[in-house]
Structure 1
């Protein structure tokens, strides 16, 4: 994930077969928000159309920019993502109610990152087709894991308030999900990749992903 259009442009200069860069405009960063909001619709839509993944975007109740300003940009982005869907990591820190409202007509591919909504809010975002990504900190919330549908769960490593995790280090999360679901870690990993494969199908974006991701998705689909 990147936090601003400028960071995305810098990141694109460094390519690696194991890395996919996402186009982001973090709602808690006023400079990133202003830069993205300052792009005209055509330029912003071009960024979304060319990026294989979108994130981190969304709403942040602790940000230096007001929620109405954040909602204005998010509304533009969601409208464009209806036309060119992509896997999209959505931030919602201290803005759960506002996020649920913004997603009443969600485009395909929305992934709620660091989701802290209660049962009703979680049901609302699941009902409109969203996915929820779980990190190592959330993996300790066994009640939360217990009511997540298996086919809507993804995993992530972003949990800055509880220590960092290396990219790909999802062992603790897989273990917690295995215990919550009563299956093996290998079965959890297979389920997660099948979920991601389905998300890519829903967003018609398999061809935008790296060859490695396409191959792993194909394996998960066939197994």
Structure 2
């Protein structure tokens, strides 16, 4: 079996007490059949630091972008474009809108979101989208900026079935994290049952949002196995089938050679 953690922050893991280094964290994941990782940046300096920490690995690809919650300082759009064009970068983001924590940066968030989509279209790299308390604006900007030209994924999906349908209509993929295992997440489980298998991804968003029964502890890429097992039950398929389908979906969305995503 071969699973992909389609969204993790490898620069944010606990390398003091939980893991010796990146090799150790990813070896623990591989022992649970999680064998490829998309390391996602949230600032441009963070992107550089993450690449330095992770190095060049056959089992890691990168995304470059500025998170909507990190809009308190301006960044150079040309620098974003330059870094996003680097070898090994397969996606833009994470980008998007978050009005829950920082509604005062709403205008700047929207401008940044548009920049990411435009660069994604230029470079033919999909966007990784975060949204919270901003559903209508998120959907509107995706449509206005013609996101269908580059595609994308709504990561760590927490919306309802109706929103999932609108994203699917835009050609989007939808990624589920450990939140789907939480006791009060029935609306999310309903959406997960609705999303077709060929548009589904699984992720940890580690070090955040560890799935049950690990909730409250630091998340890590190995735990995408728990998310996949839970999603397989929801979808009524074997975990092996869910693993194969989500891995194929990941390769298709991010233009990754499928030969990199299979056991040697």
Which residue number corresponds to residue 79 of structure 2? Answer: 43
Q: What secondary structure is seen at the aligned counterpart in 2 of 1:206?
A: coil
Which residue number corresponds to residue 74 of structure 2? Answer: 34
Q: What secondary structure is seen at the aligned counterpart in 1 of 2:201?
A: strand
Any conservation in 2 of the 1:139–1:145 contact (CA below 8 Å)?
no
Q: 1:158-169 maps to which residues of 2 (within 5 A)?
A: 158=205, 160-161=208-209, 162-163=215-216, 164-169=218-223
Q: What secondary structure is seen at the aligned counterpart in 2 of 1:3?
A: coil
Q: 1:64-213 maps to which residues of 2 (within 5 A)?
A: 64=102, 65-104=104-143, 105-106=146-147, 107-140=149-182, 141=186, 142-158=189-205, 160-161=208-209, 162-163=215-216, 164-200=218-254, 205-206=255-256
Change (3 A) 1:53 1:168: farther
Give the Cα separation in 2 of the matches to 1:155 and 1:73.
26
Give the Cα separation in 2 of the matches to 1:176 and 1:11.
30
Q: What secondary structure is seen at the aligned counterpart in 2 of 1:120?
A: helix
Q: CA deviation at 1:56?
A: 1.6
After TM superposition, the score normalised by the length of structure 1 is: 0.81
Give the Cα separation in 1 of the matches to 2:56 and 2:81.
25
Larger strand fraction of residues? 2
Any conservation in 2 of the 1:151–1:195 contact (CA below 8 Å)?
yes
Q: What secondary structure is seen at the aligned counterpart in 2 of 1:44?
A: helix
Give the Cα separation in 2 of the matches to 1:109 and 1:214.
22
Q: CA deviation at 1:16?
A: 4.5
State the Cα RMSD in Å: 2.2
After TM superposition, the score normalised by the length of structure 2 is: 0.70
Q: What secondary structure is seen at the aligned counterpart in 2 of 1:102?
A: helix
- Relative contact order higher in (CA < 8 Å, ≥ 6 apart): 2
Change (3 A) 1:132 1:68: same
Q: What secondary structure is seen at the aligned counterpart in 2 of 1:21?
A: strand
**Runs of 5+ in structure 1 lacking a partner?**
208-212
Give the Cα separation in 2 of the matches to 1:66 and 1:85.
28
Any conservation in 1 of the 2:164–2:191 contact (CA below 8 Å)?
no
Give the Cα separation in 1 of the matches to 2:49 and 2:98.
24
Change (3 A) 1:144 1:119: closer
Q: CA deviation at 1:95?
A: 1.1
**Runs of 5+ in structure 2 lacking a partner?**
1-39, 210-214
Which residue number corresponds to residue 210 of structure 1? Answer: none
Q: CA deviation at 1:175?
A: 1.6
Any conservation in 2 of the 1:58–1:91 contact (CA below 8 Å)?
yes
Kindly tell me the number of residue pairs found equivalent between the two proteins: 204
Q: CA deviation at 1:214?
A: 4.2
Q: CA deviation at 1:180?
A: 2.0
